[in-house]
Structure 1
Amino acid sequence: MTQSFGLSATARAALLQRLSRRKGGEEASEAPPESPGRDLATLPGLRDIEMVREAGEALGLESPYFRPHEGVAGARTVIGGREFLNFASYNYLGLNGDPRIAAAAKAAIDRHGVSASASRLASGERPVHGELEAALAEQYGTEACLCLVSGHATNVTVIGHLMGARDLVLHDQLIHNSAAEGARLSGARRIAFPHNDWRAAERELAAQRRRHGRALIVIEGHYSMDGDVPDLARFAEMARRHDALLMVDEAHALGVLGATGRGSFEHCGVAPGAVDIWMGTLSKTLSGCGGYIAGRRPLIDLLRHAAPGFVYSVGMAPPLAAASLESLRVMQAEPWRTARLQANAALFLRLAREAGFDTGASAGLGIVPVILGSSVAAARMAAALFEGGINVQPILFPVVPERSARLRFFLSAEHTEDEIARTAAALAAAREGLAGARVA
């Protein structure tokens, strides 16, 4: 049985007893409970959130979440008036905060205002929307592209709209929540295959294909929890062989993978046309907010006129579209940024492994997990590093299995070699310090 918060059954029972004693005196003063149908305190999952919060307090651990950053969160950031080395942001190429990107956003505000004010179908286009979509279509060598206001909503509405009850969605077991939610919404048969195991995926596809109308394979180009990449060529071959569509989520791949940052197809040496649906987000390398789909014209035409998450949602804010467009142009003109990011990630991966840390299957291209084995260990390590001026987020159960709780380091082209070396040394020192505290 999985141990909550990394505690043994005995320690967990003792913790719960302490929490119950702490709350015992509070319950008498609480207002009478609502009727069951109106009692929001009984919402599913709420008690689990409260229990995690209370456990952190009982263990003396400050929550690492929702910390306000007081400026641009790049390789460095300011929290509570104090400067930190920052490994918790997706500012991979250091473009968020670049004066050219800010100038493009400000010019768009001056021309169009802050908001599109309504759906693009209803209120009309702004030129920057079409320019961004044309640039992204060229980036992927596709016929067309469509941008939506949310990356999460892009996967939900596209998968949910394209697939139906007679269809099959086959996805990696570590696929992002947005893709899983889209598959659930569609009503299609949904099958998860072991992470990055294309052989297992093909066995499932071969066994199920004739029973369904359309089939969609969904993978990521660069997995955000583990920092590893799929064998894209194998998945593309599989899709063709079994008359299935292939969708690749490039949220953490654009700007990170490939010699010039074009993404997983450049990294894997696969023609971009081998993928039917390219999905990505604008909030990471491209310094904006939203999602996009690039592919053949009939697909984009259908989504433009019928996908609920586009038709019934406000159009992307013009300054965000302008920021993403300028970021894409800078990325393409300055491939040294991707090269520096990859060198930084490879350096941190090497130093962490030399220090004896488990970094899983990370390819060392932008994301490096340090797997510590329990949520308490990860939370304590993150707290120790934060105290020492390093901001990195712990990823805890139930987001990952308890045995693989971790610190997740997002590298940036802006980090220096000295900062990376100091961070690896601080990791090792924090481990020794926590080990000494347990012994004492």
Structure 2
Amino acid sequence: MRKSLSRRTVLRGVGTAIALPLLDAMSPTRLLSAASPKSDTPLRMAFFYVPNGAHMPDWKPKEAGFKFDLPPTLNVIAKHKEKFNVLSGLTLDGARAHGDGGGDHARSVAAFLTGAHPRKTNGADIQNGISVDQATAQYVGDQTRFASLELGLEASAQAGNCDSGYSCAYASNMSWRGPTNPMAKETNPGTLFDRLFAGSTVKETRQAKTAREKYRKSVLDFALEDAKQLHASLPAVDKRKLDEYLYSIRDVEKRLNGAERLRLNEDGVPDYPRPSGVPKELDKHSELMMDMITLAMQTDSSRIISFMFTNAGSNRSYKQIGVNEGHHELSHHGKSAHKQEQIAKINRYHIERFGYLLERLSGVYEGERTLLENSMIVYGSGISDGDRHNHDDLPILLAGSAGGRIKTGRHIEFKNGTPMCNLYVWMMQQMGAKAEKFGDSNGVLKLT
């Protein structure tokens, strides 16, 4: 029996530490059955938030169970229908006013992962609850390089008045380490790249970054010898996996740097610098962040991720899909057919971006399952209809089969008013957290 390769093996170079994907050599005796949820493959959880609710007639399927037709919004990810469940009836009571008046957008984000009702203030006395990602990270975060990753396409703010007297801290952060500690998002894909592939010391990392930029080198140049030695010792199937993984790193670097064509140095490694900056095009920005999420999961750098497409109440326009008006403005449609049509376009655009991630995760195999199958990923909003500002019967998807623990390809209708946190208790339990209650939960969601 050949010796098992450590799951924590990394390719090292000056200022570089490239974590590896799951290889067969890391568990040579593993017999993983696609029908069994028990394996040594880690489970991941992630949360994706979109603002301003959804055009529900184009979102919610009419039929329940396995035999349902995808409505127009979800039809853009029809090829992945068997890989996710649509969940209806889930509710965020904490996002409701409860006597506090306006501010549904800020409350919807603040409550989305906490289930709490945030204190209405635009001062320093913010008060929310711990979010499910951070609560889970307290149990399993020490098993990875990063206990959790907080990401998005718009920067976080920690002060200011963003929604009817609610602090911008509520409107722009969905992850909370504690009642007064929002976790700011990383929006720069180049900075995230550095975090994932940084060396063991700050000094080494800075020196390597300077050298890469000066000599237009890839992070792989610095770990080339390690990569060659490992490649030579691997079985054929792992050599292919390693090659595909390293190529994906090269591809991300190239696209982030804006290089138009691949230039190879004498060792056959792409010759371009570490990427930097935030792309101006939303398509490019979102795809690169989804690529980073895939790499983070694939290398087991983190098993817990949160992602905000935009901040609460975003009034961004989407001219690239023919929507010139602001998103928030359109969400107050007043039953205008034109505005509802435009909202539906934005919804389809967001779910299409999410579909890109599903495609990437579906292409990475870990034993008999894909990275997507070994995940449970929540996608949705803390508002249902943007015009009504209601927080019941939310637009929610749950992608991935949680390592074979649930069957996908269903529309599951729960009783309207079922706490969203009931889902979170179930997810925490699957991750190994000892949780019987979270937020405003009153039970555990039944998904089997």
TM-score by length of 2: 0.22
TM-score by length of 1: 0.22
The structure whose RCO (Cα within 8 Å, separation 6+) is larger is 2
Tell me which structure has the larger Cα radius of gyration. 1
